[in-house]
Structure 1
Amino acid sequence: MAYLVDKKLSIVIPSHNEEKNISYLIDQIRETLEPTGYAYELIFVDDGSRDNTLNELKVNAEIHSNVFYVELSRNFGKDYALKAGIAMASGNAVITMDADLQHPPQMILKMLYHWEEGYDIVYTYREGENPHGKGYQKVTSRLFYKGLNMLSDIKMENGTADFRLIDEKVVKQLKLIDEYEIFFRGIIKWAGYKQIGIPYVPSKRHTGEASYSFAKLVKLAVTTIMAFSARPLYIISMVGLLFSTVAILYIPYVLISYCLGYAVSGWASIIATIAFFGGLQLMLMSVIGIYVGKIFMQSKHRPNYIIRSSNVVIVDNDLIRI
């Protein structure tokens, strides 16, 4: 394999309570990339960790001149941490990956191969089920991607990961995106360019447990679908039209029954009907409310994240240690 040794890579790694994984991950990446001749920088983003992750990053930054860290003021979420790291990146390509070693660093070599072939984006997707995932995570993952593909305007492979390579021309465009509740896996698909997906088998976490709960996964699914499509609004419009039509067709039956002196249905059926349509209206209004809420939050123009400290600044598109 011929490597473009005059190119520089920026590896962005969001980190949340990963104190025992940092040093091991750095060693794994060094073993993978040192033989290639690529220049590279590691940009760790501490996303409000409650353990000694930040101290581990500071120690490794003192040892390795190409290790940089950015500390966020609190836990803003993985995608905002990715955005903070990408904003700092100065390489000819940016690689994003997790800090828990479930994204095998050796896969970077395959990404580089496809990048050299001319692809602008090389993303990964999980091959089969996650052998290390919990039962509910496997189920919710399948439902998430099926629902996303059905209800949104983007199509993604099951198990698409935040383990990807992005060419610098794509990165320049990503840095311009400023939206509330950003979802990079969807943004990457939406951006277009010349893309290729490669399958991978996730490794077992080096240490620690996954921080995504069932509630967080459900919230992610809802916000993601609504961030990439107005289709739910069209669906509830069709549902409303359907039930309105049924209600109109019911009017002649009521009038004929009244004229012929038939007994009117009892209070139980009336209450059941009112409860059903009341619940339906609340459900439809809640969907509209979520969209309105997203518009409200976007209109505030608050920053997506706040940096508390860092050992780096950008000068002329280069990272300078401070």
Structure 2
Amino acid sequence: MKQPSLTIVVPCYNEEEVFPTTLRQLKNTVTRLIKEGYVDRNSKILFVDDGSRDSTWDLIKKAYTEDSMINGLKLSRNFGHQRALMAGLEEASRYSDCVISIDADLQDDISVIKEFVIKYLEGYDVVYGVRKRRETDSFFKRTTAQMFYRLMEKMGLPLVYNHADYRLLSRRALNALLQYKEANLFLRGIVPLLGFKSAKVYYDRKERAAGESKYPLPKMLALALDGITSFSVKPIRLITAIGFISSLISFLAAVYVLVQKISADPVGGWASIMISLWFIGGLLLISIGLIGEYVGKIYEEVKGRPRYILEERLQHFSQEYKRPKQQVGK
């Protein structure tokens, strides 16, 4: 069987501290796979600079000039992790038989990349990297992550538990993924929808080698909200159910007040009325805000703006690869 050409796609944002370590370890991994006959000698590592403000792009350019294994993309500004990853996947789809995506911090164990490729050679189109445990996370992060996956399950989303964006996609799966044109990307929700034969590879997550996490709590919450609102309308239906329940309670309260009036007993005090008003007012504001999230997503989608814009491309070409025109994300 002909060895597949592999591309490892690595989104980068302000990764100057960890980049040398990431570059060295990934090069060693791909070189070893080539020597052992698992992948083709034209396999690549594609770094995608998502508008970094430090010297990340300069380091990528230096690596490109020194090694034909290294390719690079520079986005015109910071578009976000999911869009940067999609830019790399779209680029790699032009010349790769299979693609592995991994974050630049290498907290995901690269030693299992060989297992990813073996699963691909066995006929799997999608291979998920799944964490065995979460001991390295703080109690808060571990608890909220578990709550997130349970919530997604209740919402009917087919997420792979403890899987982020560490995965292998075959050319067929990648081409199917590129047919999804939405601007609001939540790849760990889209990929399971492809429906191709899949497998899981388990690993232990490591500590970050250097630099700071690019996913603080606000970004994690935003990603969770994107996932929920991009794949489920159950929150809207929940609001409708709460509205019916509130109406029923209000009707019962009105009956109670009417009975009190007829029996000449004094009506309840000011405090209970104010509490009810504040509760209903807060509920209305939350409901309007949630509906606004869906309306905002519709607004973003109908404008049809590009998901990303390329500023610069660094590409070592193989014989069968044709130089692409300057592109924007579709």
TM-score between both structures, scaled by the size of structure 2: 0.89
How far the C-alpha of 1:320 sits from its partner, in A, is 4.4
- Aligned mates of 1:239, 1:313 — CA distance in 2: 57
Aligned to 1:138: 142
How far the C-alpha of 1:135 sits from its partner, in A, is 4.4
**Is 2:68–2:316's contact at 8 Å kept on the other side of the alignment?**
no
Question: Would you say 1:41 and 2:44 are equivalent positions?
Answer: yes
**Is 1:124–1:163's contact at 8 Å kept on the other side of the alignment?**
yes
How far the C-alpha of 1:297 sits from its partner, in A, is 1.2
- Aligned mates of 2:320, 2:189 — CA distance in 1: 26
- Aligned mates of 1:125, 1:6 — CA distance in 2: 25
Residue 128 of structure 2 is aligned with which of 120, 123, 131? 123
Aligned to 2:18: 21
- Aligned mates of 1:205, 1:251 — CA distance in 2: 59
**Is 1:87–1:175's contact at 8 Å kept on the other side of the alignment?**
yes
Give unpaired runs (5+ residues) of structure 1: none
Aligned to 2:4: 7
Residue 159 of structure 2 is aligned with which of 142, 152, 155? 155
Q: How big is each residue's C-alpha offset from its partner over 1:277-305, in whole Å with a ceiling of 9 and x where there is no partner?
A: 11111111111111111111111111111
Q: How big is each residue's C-alpha offset from its partner over 1:145-191, in whole Å with a ceiling of 9 and x where there is no partner?
A: 2222222432331x212111001011111112111220111111222
Aligned to 1:215: 218
Residue 225 of structure 1 is aligned with which of 228, 234, 257? 228
SS of the equivalent of 2:48 reads strand
C-alpha change, 1:58 and 1:258, in structure 2 (3 Å) is same
**Is 1:44–1:69's contact at 8 Å kept on the other side of the alignment?**
yes
- Aligned mates of 1:258, 1:136 — CA distance in 2: 51
C-alpha change, 1:317 and 1:67, in structure 2 (3 Å) is same
Question: Would you say 1:298 and 2:301 are equivalent positions?
Answer: yes
Q: Give 1:12-91 correspondences, 5 Å limit.
A: 12-32=9-29, 33-37=33-37, 38-39=39-40, 40-89=43-92, 90-91=95-96
**Is 1:88–1:319's contact at 8 Å kept on the other side of the alignment?**
no
C-alpha change, 1:318 and 1:210, in structure 2 (3 Å) is same
TM-score between both structures, scaled by the size of structure 1: 0.92
Aligned to 2:270: 267
Q: Which amino acid aligns with 2:143?
A: V
How far the C-alpha of 1:124 sits from its partner, in A, is 1.0
**Is 2:159–2:188's contact at 8 Å kept on the other side of the alignment?**
no
Q: Which amino acid aligns with 1:196?
A: A
Q: Give 1:281-292 correspondences, 5 Å limit.
A: 281-292=284-295
**Is 2:50–2:77's contact at 8 Å kept on the other side of the alignment?**
yes
Residue 234 of structure 1 is aligned with which of 225, 233, 237? 237
How far the C-alpha of 1:5 sits from its partner, in A, is 4.5
- Aligned mates of 1:261, 1:204 — CA distance in 2: 70
SS of the equivalent of 2:304 reads coil
Paired-residue identity, %: 33
C-alpha change, 1:145 and 1:317, in structure 2 (3 Å) is farther
Paired residues in the alignment total: 317
C-alpha change, 1:139 and 1:55, in structure 2 (3 Å) is same
**Is 2:6–2:99's contact at 8 Å kept on the other side of the alignment?**
yes
- Aligned mates of 1:62, 1:315 — CA distance in 2: 16
Cα RMSD, aligned residues only: 2.2
**Is 1:25–1:101's contact at 8 Å kept on the other side of the alignment?**
yes
C-alpha change, 1:98 and 1:256, in structure 2 (3 Å) is same
Q: Is the deviation greater in 133-142 or in 232-241?
A: 133-142
Aligned to 2:182: 179
Q: How big is each residue's C-alpha offset from its partner over 1:243-281, in whole Å with a ceiling of 9 and x where there is no partner?
A: 111222233222222122121122222222111111111
Q: Which amino acid aligns with 2:292?
A: G
SS of the equivalent of 2:103 reads coil
- Aligned mates of 1:267, 1:205 — CA distance in 2: 55
C-alpha change, 1:217 and 1:142, in structure 2 (3 Å) is same
